[in-house]
Copies of this chain bind each other. A is one copy, B any other.
Amino acid sequence: MASFDCITFLTDYGLEDGFVAACHGVAARIAPGTGLIDITHLVPPGDVRRGAAVLAQTIPYLPPGVHVAVVDPGVGTARRGIAVAAGDSVLVGPDNGLLSWAVAALGGATAACQLTNGELWLHPVSPTFHGRDIFTPVAAHLASGGDLASVGTPIDLADLVTLPAPTSRVHDGEAEGEVMSVDRFGNVQLSIAASDADRLGLGFGSPVVVRCGRRQLTVPYLETFAAVAPGEIVAFTDSAGLISLAVNGGDAAEQLGLPPGAHVRLSAAMPA
């Protein structure tokens, strides 16, 4: 296996402690000179779905590399550690579904191993910090040219844990989805692809009916949030290709009361 120029990290470790730096340090000791890119360390603690979504939406823009992801509420229990080859990259982390959407975004797994080769780990292994003692040293070993097979025993790809896909369906002229994430700007990303909008007959400039719970509102579907006046609500296709709701200069999630996981339906407004 070729070596990699880049190791990336996504965790829920936060930035107040030295946890991220310990991982960076371990990587730098084993694979000096390898580039390190932090995806984010502010995944809400234990929120595997949120971590999976950020990883899957970011990984197409990262260089081929070894991508370490750790949102791992089951650390130290029976859940496996894995390394999964997909596209030109390898992903390393717990086998709890965290990696699964990113693996799919890279075209699917081509090989996978359970991390069983303890010779690559830092000892003593902390039962609560596999990021530092197992995942990062294994990733640095792979980045330095180590073969996937050297990290442990092969796994049947069908046995990898995958997260259920978010709700996303089109029926009766309506697209149904859920709130995937709320970004720093309060923009509400839905699990409804722009291609589904096409199937509903929605195009830029169309009014779209948004239903959440018993509420209903009609907003324009436009290319960007900045196309409406400040304070107005707009639907647009976001940078991940998903339909999102925004308030220009405001916080749509707060204004619409739409937290992650909330169900939303979209349809084309009937001509008046």
Residues of chain A touching chain B, judged by Cβ–Cβ distance below 8 Å, are 5-6, 8, 10, 12-26, 28-29, 32-33, 35, 37-42, 45-46, 54-55, 57-58, 61-63, 73-77, 126-129, 132-133, 181, 183-185, 223-227, 236-239, 248-249
Contact = CB atoms under 8 A, between A and B. Distances in A.
B17 A38 contact: no
A17 B54 contact: yes
A42 B26 CA distance: 21
30 contacts: A5-B33, A8-B25, A12-B184, A13-B184, A16-B40, A17-B54, A18-B40, A18-B55, A21-B58, A21-B62, A22-B58, A22-B61, A23-B61, A28-B35, A29-B61, A32-B63, A76-B223, A76-B224, A76-B225, A76-B227, A77-B226, A77-B227, A126-B239, A127-B223, A127-B224, A127-B237, A128-B236, A128-B238, A132-B239, A133-B239
A26 to B, nearest CB: 5
B61 A26 contact: yes
A20 B242 CA distance: 19
Contact of A58 (B8, B16, B25, B46): B25
A187 to B, nearest CB: 8
A28 B6 contact: yes
Contacts of A28: 5-6, 35, 37, 62-63
Contacts of A237: 126-127
Nearest to A225: B128
B25 A37 contact: yes
Given A28-B63, A58-B21, A76-B223, A15 B42 contact: yes
Nearest to A136: B61
Most buried by B among A20, A24, A26, A74: A24
B77 A17 contact: no
A224 B62 contact: no
A224 to B, nearest CB: 3
Contacts of A10: 18
A13 B187 CA distance: 12
Contacts of A54: 17-18
Contacts of A132: 61, 239
A226 to B, nearest CB: 5
Contacts of A38: 21
Given A21-B37, A77-B224, 20 more contacts: A8-B21, A12-B184, A18-B39, A21-B38, A21-B58, A22-B61, A22-B62, A28-B35, A28-B62, A28-B63, A29-B62, A32-B63, A73-B248, A73-B249, A75-B226, A77-B226, A126-B237, A127-B223, A127-B224, A128-B239
